[in-house]
Chains A and B, each alone.
Chain A
């Protein structure tokens, strides 16, 4: 059961934030994993903080000022610390599990604490309070303990509820006024990069200076060296990247130039194509036609030649036959001629014989007598014939 300490109505404060600002919506929109008890991330996160706190300070009692849902309180309690916590949000405190309730309370930090604790943690709280309220909270916390673990963001201006962001020096001043000084020997980064452990000390100016100087010097030295190293690295990088970048720029420029040229050439080709290409294709067509035409002409010549050869051989055959016939005729004519000669010879022989016979007859006495007797008749015949 939670107990309500403050009855002040926070919403009436000028420029401040109240419980209503940290209700369900706030935790719903809280960055990171869901801000619930089951979420292992927060359990680990706050567990580690609790581990460090217990190992460094070994407190018996503790108070988490602005504990939200009490995660740190639970973590510390689990580690054997009599941990308590308080938050301005009714919602947050009400959302805690039943067994944790006795340790938690709704508290406005502008109210004075009633007890003292070994350590008070105030993590990411003061930036949510109006400046004058934060001052009061610091005073109240310093009155309730000798050791405060403070973490308040120096630069997260974007969150709407961060209404009091101040540089760490400012907070340190406030604590110094209360007699609390930074524990330079404790590294509080287990809480956050800007966390500081403030402890009540009576420190002389010399002791403060010593503490800060011993912290400062190495840091300055480190920064100095790191700056140098960074510069060197940067120069080396520039040395290496500069030519590469130059090359890249040159290549890009070349690519752009080529691209432009390609576009120009394409346009040229398109213009040329319609003229030259067409002419080429017409020529090719013409060549194909000529080839086919020549083949056709050749075929005509071949046909004619074949026909000429065929008719020539027919003619030759005809002449050969004619020759054969002529030869036969010639043979026949020769034979006839031979026969004629034989007959002519026979006729001559006959005639010769007749002449011989006639001469013989003329030589005979009968002929001589008869021819003389008929002489006057022959003369008369000759006269008549004329």
Chain B
């Protein structure tokens, strides 16, 4: 066991009435069960007069704390000054006025015996000191981190590595810590995730995600991180009803691979928005516009019940370019999609249902730009019901069951730390709108024929993840999915058993579902 502090906690005081809050921050540190910490405080020159004196008085009795007067008013410079004071193995950030759970340092120490760096969840305390809000974060997810500064508090980084990569870069201002975390992530790889509200905000705010600082600084930090990796990007802030929830990374597509849209259909109709519509034809009409993705192929897998008129119309709309694949036999989603995939010539395949409508015009470009990353295996989109509620914002696997994240919540819902509003990782996405590379799709055996009706997209997603890829969800590609009623959405018992045989572990331990929300896996033995 090394002597000396484990974690140097950095705090910058810039707020005018900060000293009141400073008191409770210091107390939360003094109440830590593990006493080996150091507190480095820098007071901004913009803080009111006498603040430094008050700070000095407060800290006088605490040998583990040190406070200095900042030489610059710029937030990035102040942060760097605080870092310069650190004399511990690790370093973490604590905003003035926020608290740490008493067990934080101890738990972090335990976790650091098997990981290089770690981040915790966040929460909020009400006036009575009870945790009333909880930001349940996912395990480490690189794209999520680029879309949102979610793994910044309470994040503990090894000081030696921080120094080796050049410490805090003052030019990123309020996002200097974010920039540092991004660089550490690219250097050390994934962080360990300590579940639980160890970092606490005081007072009820707007709830998770707790994002502070300047949006432009954040976008600059993310852009710098991607440019260092050789990508050309445009980063802009994402706001929902005026509230900042993260960033959007627009990647420049260097090449335009051919994309085949595979649509299994019966060309049936149902009543939508009060009018009878033949979904497939309407959808294809909205897809095949003059402004569509340049190298596009349309593959329609039709049934024996599909009326000839529909096929003729489809050929008409696409000037005969549509590839029509006849399919015979009882309804089998997997086989239909596989037949469509085998008839395609595209480098990318996008599986679509026939009862959908495009909402964001550049949906396909957005999805294709995400698939350009060789570490990404599949991309899903945000799908809305006719009433505007979420039909799909990614899959969520818990307790052995597969569900849709935030099903039927509002399209702009900020639940789960606004997970549905930012481009982020998922364990799976729906086959109603899924973009994959043709080679990868074929290599994992396509849609499994063991799941004719349901769970075929869950199985495919998990196969792709097992092959080493990540799956991304993007809300910047949004479509309506009317979920036609002509097919009974049943799950047969067989399919439930089979999915469990293959993926029981994964369906209980989804890395993007917080540990504290996971339903534990109950084994028969435990009942004995």
A: residues with CB less than 8 A from B are 278, 281-282, 285-293, 295-297, 299-300, 303-304, 307-308, 311
Find out whether the CB atom of B342 lies under 8 angstroms from the CB atom of A300: no
In the bound complex, residues from chain A placing their C-beta under 8 Å from that of B504 are 300
B: residues with CB less than 8 A from A are 335, 338-339, 342-343, 442-450, 459, 462-463, 466, 501-505, 523, 525
- Give A304 to B343 CA distance when docked, in angstroms: 40
Find out whether the CB atom of A289 lies under 8 angstroms from the CB atom of B444: yes
The contact of B445 among A291, A297, A307, A311, by CB within 8 Å, is: A291
Find out whether the CB atom of B445 lies under 8 angstroms from the CB atom of A287: yes
- Give A288 to B443 CA distance when docked, in angstroms: 7
CB distance from B297 to the nearest CB of A (A): 17
In the bound complex, residues from chain B placing their C-beta under 8 Å from that of A308 are 525
Find out whether the CB atom of B339 lies under 8 angstroms from the CB atom of A288: no
In the bound complex, residues from chain A placing their C-beta under 8 Å from that of B443 are 288
- Give A289 to B338 CA distance when docked, in angstroms: 12
Q: 30 pairs across A/B with beta carbons < 8 Å?
A: A278-B343, A282-B335, A282-B338, A285-B338, A285-B442, A285-B446, A286-B445, A286-B449, A287-B445, A288-B442, A288-B444, A288-B446, A289-B445, A289-B446, A289-B447, A289-B449, A289-B450, A289-B463, A290-B445, A292-B444, A292-B445, A293-B445, A293-B448, A296-B463, A300-B503, A300-B504, A300-B505, A304-B523, A308-B525, A311-B525
- Give A287 to B448 CA distance when docked, in angstroms: 9
If the complex has contacts A278-B339, A292-B463, A296-B462, are A285 and B503 also in contact, measured as CB distance less than 8 A? no
- Give A311 to B450 CA distance when docked, in angstroms: 33
In the bound complex, residues from chain B placing their C-beta under 8 Å from that of A285 are 338, 342, 442, 445-446
A-B contact count (CB 8 A): 59
Find out whether the CB atom of A296 lies under 8 angstroms from the CB atom of B338: no
Find out whether the CB atom of B446 lies under 8 angstroms from the CB atom of A303: no
In the bound complex, residues from chain A placing their C-beta under 8 Å from that of B448 are 289, 293
- Give A291 to B450 CA distance when docked, in angstroms: 12
Closest A-B pairs by Cβ, 7 of them: A289-B445, A288-B445, A296-B502, A285-B446, A289-B448, A281-B342, A297-B501
CB distance from B393 to the nearest CB of A (A): 26
- Give A48 to B474 CA distance when docked, in angstroms: 100
In the bound complex, residues from chain B placing their C-beta under 8 Å from that of A295 are 466
In the bound complex, residues from chain B placing their C-beta under 8 Å from that of A281 are 342
In the bound complex, residues from chain B placing their C-beta under 8 Å from that of A300 are 501-505
- Closest A residue to B463 by beta carbon equals A292
If the complex has contacts A291-B445, A308-B525, are A296 and B503 also in contact, measured as CB distance less than 8 A? yes
- Give A307 to B523 CA distance when docked, in angstroms: 10
CB distance from B507 to the nearest CB of A (A): 10
In the bound complex, residues from chain B placing their C-beta under 8 Å from that of A293 are 445, 448, 450, 459, 502
Find out whether the CB atom of B502 lies under 8 angstroms from the CB atom of A282: no
- Closest A residue to B466 by beta carbon equals A296
- Give A278 to B444 CA distance when docked, in angstroms: 18
- Give A288 to B503 CA distance when docked, in angstroms: 17
In the bound complex, residues from chain B placing their C-beta under 8 Å from that of A299 are 505
Residue from A282, A290, A292, A311 whose CB has the most chain B CB atoms within 10 Å = A292
- Give A278 to B325 CA distance when docked, in angstroms: 11
In the bound complex, residues from chain B placing their C-beta under 8 Å from that of A304 are 523
Find out whether the CB atom of A282 lies under 8 angstroms from the CB atom of B342: yes
The contact of A303 among B449, B459, B505, B525, by CB within 8 Å, is: B505
- Give A307 to B339 CA distance when docked, in angstroms: 40
- Give A292 to B440 CA distance when docked, in angstroms: 13
- Give A369 to B502 CA distance when docked, in angstroms: 102
In the bound complex, residues from chain A placing their C-beta under 8 Å from that of B446 are 285, 288-289
